[in-house]
Amino acid sequence: MGLSAQDYENLIASLNQLINQVPGFVKGGILNQSLPDYLSFIPYEFRKYTVAELMESIRQAWGEGKIRW
């Protein structure tokens, strides 16, 4: 199925908004959270997609430089 173009752009915007709220000194420790903690951050509008579909879109956006850590 894959994400629609609009949902893809909204996902990128949502991720960048979350990332920008995290202080730089904290970002290194975020990777230590458990998977259920990460999944709880997925906005409701994207829960219709599988984790694989979301990860594929996130990897694509990361590779295109649309998500900045």
The one-digit pLDDT tens for each residue of the chain (69 residues) are 588 999 999 988 988 887 788 777 676 666 666 656 766 778 888 888 887 888 888 889 989 999 877
* Phi, then psi, of 9 in degrees rounded to 5: -65, -40
pLDDT for the residue numbered 64: 92
Kindly list the domain boundaries of the chain, sorted by start residue: 5-63
Task: Give residue 42's pLDDT.
Answer: 80
Alpha-carbon distance 9 to 62, whole Å?
12
What three-state secondary structure class fits 22?
coil
Confidence (pLDDT) at 5: 92
Which residues make Cβ contacts (< 8 Å) with residue 41, sequence separation at least 6?
A: 18
Q: Tell me, what's the pLDDT at 19?
A: 78
